[in-house]
Each structure stands twice: as C-alpha cells, then as structure tokens.
Amino acid sequence: MILPFVRDVFADVEKSPALQRAIARVKGGAGRTRASGLTPTGKALFYSLLQRATARPLAVVVSDNRSVDELLPVIRSLAELTGAVPPESVIGLPAYDVLPFESQSPHPEIQEARATALWKIATGGANIVITPFAAASMRLREASFYAGLAQVVLRGEMIDPERLVEHLRLAGYSQVDVVEMPGEFAHRGGLIDVYPPESERPVRIELFGDEVESLRKFDPATQRSAVATEEVALLPLTETPVDEDTLAAINARLSGHRLAGDEEAVEEAVRYSGVSVFPGWELYAPVAGAKRSFFDLLPGATVVLDEPDTLSDAHAAWWAKLTDAHERSLVGNLVRPEDLYEVEPAGVASCFARIPARVIAVEPLGAETLLVLTLADSKEEVIAQVGRRTALRSGATATIGLDTTALHLFDPATNKAIPFFDRGGPRA
C-alpha cells in the first residue's frame, strides 16, 4: 500500500513550473522539445507523469537492451508510487541479441519477451514502451497479427481442443508428458496442461466435450490442482509462429537465385519441396509480409529519445555492424538490411533534419570512414562520420542528417551559447 503522503510529495513535483512547461509544450504539439538536467530517476518520473498528462502512449527510445533493463524497473516503481500509470502497462520491447545474416537464432528469453510485449502493445495493454532504436527500426506485421499470438481461455466457453493444441505449438510451446517448466504443455484426453510465461503456476484446462468445464492452477512438483480461476491468458513464446506460409516465404526469398517465376509461384514450389527452420530464420521473418513499423502499433504516441546524442552514435554503430554482417554473409540482394529494418523509423525521423549533399572525398580511417561533402546549392563543406564500410564514392549524392535536439547555437562575438527557448517559448 502506498501511503498518502508519498503521493502528496510527487504531486508537488508534478506542479513544478519547469515540469508543467515541458508537459504543456508536448501536449500543445509544439514539435521537438528538449529536456535536460534530469537524473536517471528524474527522467523515469518525468516519463510517468508525461504519459498521464498527455493520456496517450509514450514510446521511449533508448540505445540498447541494457538501457531497457535499467530504466524499466525504475519507471514501474515510480508509476506505482505516483499512481500515474498502472505498473503492468509499462513494458520493455527488447531488440534481438543477435544480428541477421549470422546464422544464429535469438535467445529464447528475448523471443518470449518480445512476443509478450508485442501482444500487449497490439491489444492496448501498453501505456509506456521502452525499446532500443534497433527494435524500433524493425519491420513488423499489423497489430491484428500480434493480437492473435495469445489466446484467452474462459471457463464455460466452447473451444476446439485440436485447434488450441495447434495454436500452442505455433506459439512456441513444447509438448511434453508432464508439465514442469514455463513454455510446456501436455494433452491427455480431456485435459490440457499449460505453463504460460509470466505465470506463477501452470494451469489445467479440463474439458467436457468441447466445453471448458474448469480452469485450475496446479503445483508442477506434485501435479495436484489447487486454485480455480475463471480465465487464463496463454501468452506466446515467439513472435514468429513456425507456420508453413512464413517458412515458405523466407525460403523462397533466400532461394531466389535458383528459382524463376513470380513470387507466388516460387513460394508454392518451395512449399511443395518441403520447408524447415534453420539457425537464424526468425530474423528473416519481415520478408514474409511485414510492412508496418513499431510506431504503427502505437498510433498517436509521444516519442521520447532518451539521451539523443548517445542514441544517435549507438544506432550508427549498430547499423554499421548490420551492414558488415550482410556483406560477409554473401546473401547479397536476395535479402538486404533495408528489407528487415527501416533505415530511419518514421516515428523518429522528424527529430533529425535532412540536407542533400554531394560527396567530394572519402577517407577510410580503419574502424570508421570520414566523408567530406558540400551542401546542396552551397560551397560550404562539412565532414560526416560513417561506418567502416560505405558504398558512397566521390561524386555521389547523399542525404546527411542533423540531430536537431543536439544542435547548439552560439554568438560568434562572445562564444556564448544561445538558447533556443526561454521560459515562454521560442525567442524572436
């Protein structure tokens, strides 16, 4: 129980002029707003109060999974202390722990966390989502696809046992004789035992024909039924169900250099010859119809770039690793990084200004490459730092980005910084 005086303290913080100005700017649609000087705990508190004030989803984009792990419990705790947001609606959507093109599958815990998070987002159960730039860049399916990853079973409803068992298999569950661990299920006559992730105990679904006669949690050690319940959510363990259509689309794409014909004909030929999983197949799933983005799943969300300077550098380094892995894989144009990830997610594109430029020199420096460019309609030269491998050559055209949240103006006479905004808004 949270004592009243604790929430009174946070209420005073929420009324502070600085916080109110920042919230007012976001609510008023003032565009990009930069907040600085906050401690990590202060940022977490700000995110909770900002979500409550705007009454719309909040997407916090961070640099990596470690940042998600550090920020998530703090925001949840402060959400509970302030009463601003239900703690269970604060979720983390991690990025994969391996890169495509490396023939490695993601860790099962990462796959489970992503599947559960995407289901909560798609079903409206997420108020604050913390995710790395890499995860926010991934091409995703429509919300209805992720909403269908889990199945809610109610006592007294009619179900098809065989379809439920097939759904569990596709959702990543393993069929066993005796359920003891999360992610397992067993089917014995009119009984289906399932151990969903994020559940303290497995549940026993007892059927009378096709009717769910009872739902009971049970002790996995003794297998004895205990507490009865009215419903159970069978959460997924993977966001990429192992179904024939998905595998056929992936194998057809990767077999494109050996088969000729239109897309449907190639997929049908591959399906007929037999399809199977292979190490890292999950990371190619976007080629099987993923035409949405993370931000499409959170329409109208307020987007926060946490530590934008660090975020920009981390994303550039990650993209360089991704393109390097693609080049080493020899997959070529069959599947490109741009087929799996957005180079620049639409939800954060507005935070970076874009300027057309022409490359006049390329200078490799080992771990990185410097580009000397002239801006369009200008003789002004700028230097851009990119990854070790780049396809740009002297004379090529390019578009460079400026992180305007990290842009600083100064007076050339005094060398003093010129702030963009002063208390009431933009300066003239």
| 3-class DSSP assignment, residue 254 | helix
Is residue 297 predicted with pLDDT exceeding 70? Answer: yes
Token output for 172? 């990543």
- Both 13 and 44 in one domain: the answer is yes
Is 55 in the same domain as 112? yes
Q: Is the pLDDT of residue 309 over 80?
A: no
pLDDT band at 428 (very low <50, low <70, confident <90, very high): very low
Structure tokens, 396: 């090529």
Q: Which residue has the higher pLDDT, 19 or 124?
A: 124
Residue that is last in its domain, among 317, 344, 371: 344
Select from 328, 344, 360 the last residue of a domain.
Answer: 344
CA 32, CA 354: separation in Å to the nearest integer? 15
Q: What is the pLDDT of residue 353?
A: 54
Q: Is the pLDDT of residue 51 over 80?
A: yes
Tell me the percentage of the chain whose pLDDT exceeds 70: 84
Is residue 421 one of the residues assigned to a domain?
Answer: no
Buried b / exposed e along 229-253 (16+ C-beta atoms within 10 A):
eeebebbbbbbbbbeeebbbbbbbb
Q: Are 302 and 375 within one domain?
A: no
Backbone phi, psi, residue 82, to 5°:
-85, -20
The CA-CA-CA angle for residues 179, 180, 185, to 5°, reads: 30
Backbone angles phi, psi at 356, to 5 degrees: -70, 145
Which tops the pLDDT comparison, 7 or 108? 108
- pLDDT at residue 354, rounded to an integer: 59
Where in the sequence is the domain holding 297, given as residue range(s)? 4-144+290-344
> Within this chain, do residues 49 and 134 fall inside the same structural domain, yes or no?
yes
Confidence of residue 358 (pLDDT cuts 50, 70, 90): confident
In a domain, 425, yes or no: no
Residue 363 lies in a domain: yes
Mean pLDDT over each residue of the chain, to the nearest integer: 84
Residues 206 and 323 in one domain: no
If asked whether residues 200 and 327 sit together in one domain, one would say no
- Residues 258, 219: Cα–Cα separation, whole Å: 53
Q: What is the CATH number of the domain that holds 94?
A: 3.40.50.11180
Kindly report, residue by residue over 81-123, the tens digit of the pLDDT: 888 899 999 999 999 999 999 999 999 999 999 999 999 999 9
* Helices assigned H by DSSP within 123-212: 133-137, 143-147, 161-170
Q: Do the domain assignments include residue 419?
A: no
Q: 208: how many CB neighbours lie within 10 A of its CB?
A: 9
Average pLDDT over residues 290-294: 91
Residues 177 and 135 reside in one and the same domain: no
| pLDDT for residue 271 is more than 70 | no
One domain for residues 111 and 162: no
178-213 pLDDT, tens digit per residue, is: 999 999 999 999 999 999 998 899 999 999 999 999
Question: Is residue 285 in some structural domain?
Answer: no
Q: Is the pLDDT of residue 260 over 50?
A: no
Which residues are within 8 A (CB) of 274 and not within 5 positions of it... i.e. 6 or more apart? none
Which DSSP string corresponds to 69-111?
A: HHHHHHHHHHHHHHTSS-GGGEEE-PPPSS-TTSS-PPPHHHH
For residue 258, pLDDT over 60 is answered with no
pLDDT digits (tens, 9 = 90+) for 9-28: 777 777 888 788 888 888 77
* pLDDT reported for residue 216: 95
Query: What span, in angstroms and rounded, lies between the C-alpha atoms of 276 and 299?
Result: 35
Q: Where are the beta strands (DSSP E) in 268-379?
A: 302-305, 352-364, 368-375
Can you tell me the distance from the alpha carbon of 240 to that of 115, in angstroms, rounded to the nearest whole number?
8
Quote the pLDDT of residue 277: 81
Residue showing tokens 């049970």? 218
- The number of distinct structural domains making up the chain is 4
Provide mean pLDDT across the span 3-13.
Answer: 71
Examine the pLDDT at 425 and tell me if it is beyond 50. Answer: no
Q: Are residues 131 and 175 in the same domain?
A: no
For residue 406, the domain's CATH number is: 2.40.50.140
Query: Whats the size of the chain, residue-wise?
Result: 428
Residue 250 — pLDDT band, cuts 50, 70, 90?
confident
**Residue 91 falls inside a structural domain:** yes
Residue 219: its pLDDT value, please?
92
Give me the CATH number covering residue 215: 3.30.2060.10
For residue 67, what pLDDT is reported?
Answer: 94
Sign of the C-alpha dihedral computed for residues 166, 169, 173 and 175 taken in this order = positive
Do both 216 and 162 map to the same domain? Answer: yes
Task: Output the pLDDT for position 351.
Answer: 54
Q: Is the same domain home to 249 and 374?
A: no
pLDDT of 421 > 50? The answer is no
Residue 415 in any domain: the answer is no
60 Rama sector, left if φ>0, alpha if ψ -120 to 50, beta otherwise: beta
- Predicted confidence at residue 183, as pLDDT, reads 94
Residue 10 shares a structural domain with residue 95:
yes
- pLDDT grade, residue 263 (50/70/90)? low
Contact 365, 341 (CB under 8 A): no
Higher local confidence (pLDDT), 78 or 272: 78
Residue 426 lies in a domain: no
> 54-58, 114-118, 316-320: lowest mean pLDDT where?
316-320
